[in-house]
């Protein structure tokens, strides 16, 4: 009664959504990824800085270059996933700020002139957007398999540049056979929430 979102949508996004470790061969199309992005781009970030950048790994050659930077347990499922996305934070996001924050374009120089400040802001806000992205994948009726078990510096050198910090790699597709481990417990409300 307290949630206004349709119960079927609650299940799709959270209760029945799982982290997939196997996928069918069904391709994930450009149109699906665009629809996911065009939904989740509205998720909030500080100063509307939207520092998330997404690299879609589609070619077999690029997939091979990616897999070698992953922990062994993440390699086979990533090699077989229909689509893989590298999510990264753009540490030079401030260049777009005047366009993204038209009512306060001075924010670029007032708050983000220094690189270390931008790096910590980008890390937080791109991580938020990564979470929105995972939920967006679920909204498309697909499953996501996010991974941080990887060599981040190797990944950065292989696909990105000094201005981009990789956050995670996400396998995307329809879940295949034995796609998930048993659901692990979550902390209860009283273990997490305090009221002062």
Ligand X SMILES: Cc1cc2nc3c(=O)[nH]c(=O)nc-3n(C[C@H](O)[C@H](O)[C@H](O)COP(=O)(O)O)c2cc1C
Binding stretches for ligand X (CB under 6 A): 18-19, 74, 146-149, 168, 180, 183-184
| Shortest spacing between CB 187 and ligand X, in angstroms | 13
Who contacts 66 (Cβ-Cβ below 8 Å, separation ≥6)?
57, 78, 84, 86, 155, 158, 159, 169
E-strand ranges in the chain read 52-57, 83-90, 143-147, 164-173
Question: Which residue in the block uniquely carries the two structure tokens 């799709």?
Answer: 12
Q: Would you say 157 or 183 has its CB closer to ligand X?
A: 183
Q: Would you say 97 or 144 has its CB closer to ligand X?
A: 144
Q: Would you say 22 or 50 has its CB closer to ligand X?
A: 22
| Shortest spacing between CB 67 and ligand X, in angstroms | 13
Q: Would you say 27 or 149 has its CB closer to ligand X?
A: 149
Question: Which residue in the block uniquely carries the two structure tokens 């690189």?
Answer: 115
State the residue number with the nearest CB to ligand X. Answer: 149
Q: Would you say 93 or 133 has its CB closer to ligand X?
A: 133
| Shortest spacing between CB 123 and ligand X, in angstroms | 13
| Shortest spacing between CB 75 and ligand X, in angstroms | 10
Task: State the SS3 of 122-156.
Answer: HHHHHHHHHHHHHHHHHHCCCEEEEECCECHHHHH
| Shortest spacing between CB 115 and ligand X, in angstroms | 24
Question: Which residue in the block uniquely carries the two structure tokens 């396998």?
Answer: 171
Name residue 54's beta-bridge partners.
87
């Amino acid at each position: 009664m307290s949630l206004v979102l349709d119960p079927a949508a609650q299940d799709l996004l959270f209760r029945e959504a799982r982290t997939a470790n196997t996928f069918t061969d069904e391709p994930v199309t450009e149109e699906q990824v665009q629809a996911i992005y065009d939904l989740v781009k509205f998720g909030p970030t500080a100063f509307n800085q939207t520092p998330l950048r997404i690299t879609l790994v589609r070619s077999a050659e690029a997939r091979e270059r990616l897999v070698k930077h992953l922990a062994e347990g993440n390699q086979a499922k990533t090699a077989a996933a229909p689509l893989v996305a590298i999510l990264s934070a753009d540490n030079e996001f401030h260049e777009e700020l005047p366009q993204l924050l038209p009512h306060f374009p001075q924010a670029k120089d007032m708050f983000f002139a220094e690189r270390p400040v931008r790096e910590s802001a980008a890390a937080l806000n791109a991580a938020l957007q990564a979470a929105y992205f995972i939920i967006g994948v679920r909204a498309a009726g697909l499953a996501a398999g996010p991974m941080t078990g990887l060599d981040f510096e190797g990944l950065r050198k292989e696909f990105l540049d000094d201005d981009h910090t990789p956050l995670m790699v996400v396998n995307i597709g329809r879940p295949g056979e034995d796609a998930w481990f048993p659901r692990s417990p979550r902390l209860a409300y009283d273990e997490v929430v305090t009221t002062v």
